[in-house]
Amino acid sequence: MYVCLCHAVSEKSLREVVRRYQPKTIQHLRQLVPIGKQCGKCVRFAREIMEDELQDAPLYKEIA
């Protein structure tokens, strides 16, 4: 499913970016993925995805 129709950003790709870079703010996520740059309708859903993925992300200490 597409999160951002303006820039064709899918939910799958957004989840992968969040898992990989673990952005803590929506502003940081917007630097990584072109969301919310035109109409802005995707920002709320992108924030929900980011929060969902970050809850399940292992802590840095657990990875190392």
Residues β-bridged to residue 2? 10
- Coil, helix or strand for 64? coil
CATH code for the domain of 16: 1.10.10.1100
- Decide if 4 contacts 42 (C-beta within 8 A): yes
Instruction: Provide the whole-model pTM.
Output: 0.81
Total domains in the fold of the chain: 1
Mind listing the pLDDT tens digit of every residue in the chain (64 residues)?
999 999 999 999 999 999 999 999 999 999 999 998 889 899 999 999 999 999 977 666 555 5
Q: Give the structural domain span for 35.
A: 2-63
DSSP state of 42: T
